[in-house]
Amino acid sequence: MTGSLSEQFVLGIDLDGVVADFYARMREIAAEWRGVPLDDLNRSVTYGLPEWGFVKKEYEDLHRFAVTQRNLFTSMLPIEGALQAIRRLAELEGVRVRVITHRLFVSHFHKIAVGQTVEWLDANAVPYWDLCFMCDKELVDADVYVEDSPRNIKQLRQAEREVIVYSNSTNQEISDEPGGRAHDWKQAELMIRDRYHRWRSEEGRSARTTELRPKGDHAAANVHSDGGRDDRSQRRDDRADGGALAQVRVGHQRQVGETTPEG
Ligand SMILES: [Mg+2]
């Protein structure tokens, strides 16, 4: 079957701070939580939101409130240009979009978090085929990653994965190289295209060999909860059965209670 995963360039994209404007929406909700004017909360935040006075336990309470009572994951605006760039890459180039997000770091409302995530992705017409809820993103295979979290960028680099830094206030201390830094989605798209065309050249492909969409009309969702298996084995599984399924994978956080505001 054409369009098997072995013939596709996989783009691993983070959501919060890369595709969805997490910090802008959280700023609104945090202002409500604090009972302060929006302007009292600095737009330039860092990991853990210390600029807004949050410590770990209170951040978890805020996060739970934001998701369960203010529909955080369905009420965020897309980051400018993200949706159109991703659609061009998927629909015109045949890039396989694999969403890799760490949104399940606070326990006991995963159903809501996953449901809101899927709803937002569909409502914004994001052409993804794989949806992975993972803490350790380097365990999920991709040809290039776009990520804003310093921790995730470091881990991907340590695993020798190619990662483009999506620039925001949380990652200014991270070096641009080796993967480069995109300051907006125009730059990110160009950088992804550059890698995609390099991959195509290295693979000896003179023209796109993948189909825009898999044949058949089913898009079954598989939920994986093993959380530790290298996704390359998953790719082999997909090749073997020739399926074209939208994959959903759920990974456990590496440490129970580990808190991060970034997905
Ligand atoms: Mg992020």
List 16, 143, 148, 238, catalytic entry: 16
- How many angstroms does the Cα of residue 16 sit away from the middle of ligand 1? 4
Reported confidence tier of residue 244, pLDDT bands at 50, 70, 90: very low
Q: What percent of the chain has pLDDT over 70?
A: 76
pLDDT, residue 64, reads: 94
- How many angstroms does the Cα of residue 120 sit away from the middle of ligand 1? 16
Q: Tell me whether residue 16 is one of the annotated catalytic residues.
A: yes
Query: How many other CB atoms are there within 10 angstroms of residue 24's CB atom?
Result: 13
Q: Tell me whether residue 14 is one of the annotated catalytic residues.
A: yes
- How many angstroms does the Cα of residue 252 sit away from the middle of ligand 1? 17
- How many angstroms does the Cα of residue 260 sit away from the middle of ligand 1? 10
- How many angstroms does the Cα of residue 202 sit away from the middle of ligand 1? 30
pLDDT, residue 252, reads: 40
Where along the chain do its domains lie?
5-21+78-250
State pLDDT tens for residues 49-106: 889 999 888 999 999 999 999 999 999 999 999 999 999 999 999 999 999 999 998 8
- How many angstroms does the Cα of residue 205 sit away from the middle of ligand 1? 32
CATH of domain 5-21+78-250: 3.40.50.1000
State pLDDT tens for residues 91-145: 999 999 999 999 998 889 999 999 999 999 999 999 999 999 999 999 999 999 9
List 14, 130, 141, 148, catalytic entry: 14
